[in-house]
């Protein structure tokens, strides 16, 4: 754990930066490449700890994964039983999606992770996989270690109790090797990167009456995959550009997938203009994004329901923006954030209060009292809990403080955005 001191912005943030590859898509490119027929080349991968955990687990399962820079070459084939436990590090996506992949394989494996991941709930994935025929054992409290014995699966109709891309993806990945048809329906639409990649890799996946319909006995076909930049990472740069007067910062090559567009909608609801340029569309739609603050400053908004589902990873930095919006911003339906790398609702609230912001915590959200003219309290040390998104959100907040702010662990950003501090410095002319 390495502390980092973040100083107030010394001037506008100006320039273009390409954020790292999308974390969700990077995981899925590796996992689908591992079970595909042929050799998949994934370019633009996020080279960070979470995605490296997925690659390491696949190698332990006998998959040929060759990784250089931001490109990986993955040769699909039969998975073999690992010689040791599969270490998923800090990555919930690795643990949950890999459990889905292993459910249909005739082998046993145990998945573990770091202290944070070992506390996160796994029953939501284990339950539908058990119904399909896999044996999934969890620790008391329904957490990891996850011990799975896969084998012959049968497709099910699964109505998810909550919208979760990880749960949905685990069931679909298991359904590839199941007998019969697997159908999945969510109460609202979660991010659809798995569906897009499956179809791009020639898997038949239909939609009917709100159900995703996947016939079993299919194997993806390898292809080249260009991973776009991550909107959840771009969010921190765009937020910094909104908070520092006179800024003209843009994020290049970002996926603007509608199921990830919650950030754009929230910024619009708060009065900001989001400009899209250089738009393109392959497996994922992409664009260069820039933001322009409203003349009178940001305004408070009500954030809940499907909108929060589509911006769940951006909630910490949106709460920071809310501290500078006129009025009280209400964030609801975000209880899932209590089960991330940290209890993000609790520690966002604690950090903002230390910076001088009035925050009320609710079981599923926050009320943040904003002021466009606010200057945050410097000279404080904020607890990040080793959570990359908290560290970046507090780093953005520090740009509008009256003195330096210390983060107790600034290097945890490496989980999703290893170059964050350098990119922030570059936009400030450093």
Residue 430: the pLDDT is 64
CB 129 within 8 A of CB 104: no
Q: Where are the beta strands (DSSP E) in 186-271?
A: 206-208, 211-215, 224-226, 248-255
**Which CATH architecture best describes the domain 23-226?**
Alpha-beta prism (3.65)
What pLDDT score does 340 carry? 86
- The predicted model gives 246-271 an average pLDDT of 93
* Unique residue bearing structure tokens 């643990």: 95
| Cβ-contact 308, 333 below 8 angstroms | yes
Give the helix/strand (H/E) hosting 15: strand 14-17
386: left (phi over 0), alpha (psi -120 to 50) or beta: left
Q: Which residue has the higher pLDDT, 409 or 260?
A: 409
Asked whether the domain spanning 23-226 has the same topology as the one spanning 4-21+228-427, the reply is: yes
**279-338: pLDDT as tens digits:** 999 899 999 999 999 988 999 999 999 888 888 999 999 999 999 999 999 999 999 899
Tell me the domain boundaries of the chain. 4-21+228-427, 23-226
pLDDT tens string 100-158: 999 999 999 999 999 989 999 999 999 999 999 999 999 999 999 999 999 999 999 99
**Reported pTM:** 0.90
- Extract the runs of DSSP E, i.e. beta strands, from 178-298: 181-185, 206-208, 211-215, 224-226, 248-255, 273-281, 285-292
- Catalytic machinery residues: 313
Q: Which two tokens stand for residue 270?
A: 């708060």
Count, residues in the chain: 430
Cis upstream peptide for 145 (omega within 30°)? yes
The pLDDT mean for the chain works out to 96
Residue 342 confidence class, pLDDT cut points 50, 70, 90: confident
Is 195 in contact with 169 (CB distance < 8 Å)? no
The class (CATH top level) of 4-21+228-427 is alpha beta
Burial letters 31-46, b for 16+ CB under 10 A, else e:
bbbbbbeeebbbebbb
**In this structure, what are the phi and psi dihedrals at residue 204, rounded to the nearest 5 degrees?**
-75, 120
Alpha carbons 350 and 353: distance in angstroms, whole number? 5
Reported as a single tens digit per residue, the pLDDT across 204-254 is 999 999 999 999 999 999 999 999 999 999 999 999 999 999 999 999 999
Average pLDDT (15-21) is 96
Q: What percent of the chain has pLDDT over 70?
A: 100
Q: What is the mean pLDDT of residues 347-375?
A: 97
What number is the average pLDDT over the span 398-411?
97
């Amino acid at each position: 754990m390495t502390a980092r001191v973040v100083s107030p912005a010394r001037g506008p943030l100006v320039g273009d930066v390409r954020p790292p590859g999308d974390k969700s898509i990077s995981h899925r490119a590796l996992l689908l490449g591992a079970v595909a027929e042929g050799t998949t080349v994934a370019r633009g991968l996020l080279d960070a700890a979470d995605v490296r955990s997925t690659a390491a687990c696949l190698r332990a399962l006998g998959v040929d994964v060759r990784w250089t820079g931001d490109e990986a070459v993955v040769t699909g084939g039969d998975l073999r039983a690992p010689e040791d436990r599969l270490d998923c590090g800090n990555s919930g996506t690795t643990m949950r999606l890999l459990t889905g992949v292993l459910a249909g394989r005739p082998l046993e494996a145990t998945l573990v992770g770091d202290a944070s991941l070992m506390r996160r709930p796994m029953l939501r994935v284990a339950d539908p996989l058990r119904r399909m025929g896999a044996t999934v054992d969890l620790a008391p409290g329904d957490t990891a270690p996850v011990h799975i014995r896969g084998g012959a699966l049968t497709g099910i109709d699964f109505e998810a109790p909550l919208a979760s891309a990880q749960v949905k993806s685990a069931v679909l990945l298991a359904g590839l090797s199941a007998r019969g048809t697997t159908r999945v329906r969510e109460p609202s639409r979660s991010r659809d990167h798995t569906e897009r990649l499956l179809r791009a890799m020639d898997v038949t996946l239909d939609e009917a009456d709100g159900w995703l319909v996947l016939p079993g006995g299919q194997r993806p076909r390898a292809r080249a995959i260009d991973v776009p930049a991550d909107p959840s990472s771009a969010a921190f740069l765009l937020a910094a550009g909104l908070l520092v007067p006179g800024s003209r910062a843009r994020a290049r090559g970002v996926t603007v997938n509608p199921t990830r567009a919650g950030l754009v909608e929230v910024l619009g609801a708060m009065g900001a203009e989001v400009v899209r340029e250089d738009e393109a569309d392959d497996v994922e739609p992409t664009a260069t994004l820039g933001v322009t603050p409203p003349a009178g400053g940001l305004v408070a908004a009500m954030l809940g329901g499907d909108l929060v589902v589509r911006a769940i990873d951006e909630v910490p930095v949106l709460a920071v923006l809310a501290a500078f919006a006129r009025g009280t911003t209400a964030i609801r339906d975000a209880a899932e954030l209590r089960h991330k790398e940290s209890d993000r609702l609790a520690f966002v609230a604690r950090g903002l209060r230390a910076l001088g912001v009035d925050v009320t915590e609710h079981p599923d959200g926050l009320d943040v009292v904003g002021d466009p003219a606010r200057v945050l309290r410097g000279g404080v040390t904020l607890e990040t809990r080793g959570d990359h998104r908290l560290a970046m959100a507090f780093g953005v907040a520090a740009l509008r403080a009256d003195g330096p702010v210390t983060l107790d662990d600034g290097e945890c950003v490496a989980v999703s955005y290893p170059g964050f501090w350098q990119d922030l410095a570059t936009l400030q002319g450093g």
